[in-house]
Protein backbone atom coordinates (compact mmCIF):
# COMPACT_ATOMS: atom_id res chain seq x y z
CA UNK A 1 0.00 0.00 0.00
CA UNK A 2 1.23 3.46 -0.85
CA UNK A 3 0.31 6.61 1.00
CA UNK A 4 0.90 10.22 0.15
CA UNK A 5 1.73 12.31 3.19
CA UNK A 6 2.72 15.98 2.86
CA UNK A 7 3.46 15.46 -0.81
CA UNK A 8 5.80 12.53 -0.17
CA UNK A 9 4.83 9.05 -1.33
CA UNK A 10 5.49 6.49 1.40
CA UNK A 11 5.38 2.77 0.66
CA UNK A 12 5.00 -0.02 3.20
CA UNK A 13 8.60 -1.15 2.78
CA UNK A 14 9.87 2.47 3.13
CA UNK A 15 11.69 2.38 -0.18
CA UNK A 16 11.83 5.73 -1.89
CA UNK A 17 12.34 4.70 -5.51
CA UNK A 18 8.75 5.57 -6.47
CA UNK A 19 9.09 8.98 -4.80
CA UNK A 20 12.27 9.63 -6.79
CA UNK A 21 10.58 8.65 -10.05
CA UNK A 22 7.59 10.92 -9.34
CA UNK A 23 9.81 13.88 -8.43
CA UNK A 24 12.05 13.42 -11.47
CA UNK A 25 9.04 13.11 -13.77
CA UNK A 26 7.58 16.37 -12.43
CA UNK A 27 10.95 18.16 -12.70
CA UNK A 28 11.45 16.95 -16.28
CA UNK A 29 7.99 18.21 -17.24
CA UNK A 30 8.82 21.64 -15.82
CA UNK A 31 12.18 21.67 -17.57
CA UNK A 32 10.46 20.86 -20.85
CA UNK A 33 7.99 23.70 -20.35
CA UNK A 34 10.86 26.10 -19.67
CA UNK A 35 12.74 25.04 -22.80
CA UNK A 36 9.60 25.34 -24.97
CA UNK A 37 8.36 28.67 -23.67
CA UNK A 38 11.46 30.79 -23.12
CA UNK A 39 13.29 32.36 -26.04
CA UNK A 40 16.35 33.46 -24.07
CA UNK A 41 18.29 30.26 -23.39
CA UNK A 42 21.43 31.79 -21.98
CA UNK A 43 23.18 30.01 -19.15
CA UNK A 44 22.22 32.68 -16.61
CA UNK A 45 18.53 32.56 -17.52
CA UNK A 46 18.27 28.77 -17.50
CA UNK A 47 20.19 28.60 -14.21
CA UNK A 48 17.90 31.17 -12.57
CA UNK A 49 14.79 29.35 -13.80
CA UNK A 50 16.20 26.00 -12.67
CA UNK A 51 16.96 27.30 -9.19
CA UNK A 52 13.57 28.94 -8.75
CA UNK A 53 11.21 26.46 -10.46
CA UNK A 54 12.77 23.00 -10.66
CA UNK A 55 15.12 22.68 -7.71
CA UNK A 56 12.39 23.20 -5.07
CA UNK A 57 10.56 20.14 -6.46
CA UNK A 58 13.73 18.07 -6.24
CA UNK A 59 14.50 19.18 -2.70
CA UNK A 60 11.02 19.16 -1.14
CA UNK A 61 11.16 17.08 2.07
CA UNK A 62 14.48 15.60 0.98
CA UNK A 63 15.35 15.05 4.64
CA UNK A 64 12.58 12.47 4.82
CA UNK A 65 13.13 10.60 1.57
CA UNK A 66 16.88 11.13 1.28
CA UNK A 67 17.97 9.24 -1.85
CA UNK A 68 20.90 7.05 -0.87
CA UNK A 69 20.81 4.38 -3.57
CA UNK A 70 22.97 5.02 -6.63
CA UNK A 71 20.04 4.52 -9.02
CA UNK A 72 17.96 7.17 -7.23
CA UNK A 73 20.84 9.63 -7.15
CA UNK A 74 21.45 9.08 -10.88
CA UNK A 75 17.79 9.84 -11.62
CA UNK A 76 17.96 13.17 -9.82
CA UNK A 77 21.35 14.05 -11.29
CA UNK A 78 19.90 13.32 -14.72
CA UNK A 79 17.52 16.26 -14.33
CA UNK A 80 20.42 18.48 -13.32
CA UNK A 81 22.46 17.33 -16.31
CA UNK A 82 19.54 17.93 -18.67
CA UNK A 83 19.11 21.45 -17.31
CA UNK A 84 22.74 22.31 -17.92
Cα 45 from Cα 34, distance rounded (Å): 10
- In this predicted structure, the answer to whether residue 77 has a pLDDT above a threshold of 70 is yes
Model confidence over 7-45: pLDDT tens digits?
666 666 666 677 778 888 889 999 999 989 988 888 898
Strand, coil or helix: 48: helix
Residue 27 CB neighbour total at 10 angstroms: 24
Sequence ranges of the domains in the chain: 2-83
Residue-level pLDDT at 14: 63
- In this predicted structure, the answer to whether residue 65 has a pLDDT above a threshold of 80 is no
pTM score > 0.85 for this model? no
Amino acid sequence: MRQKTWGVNVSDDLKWDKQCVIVVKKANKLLGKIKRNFIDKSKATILALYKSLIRPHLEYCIQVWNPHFAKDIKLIEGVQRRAT
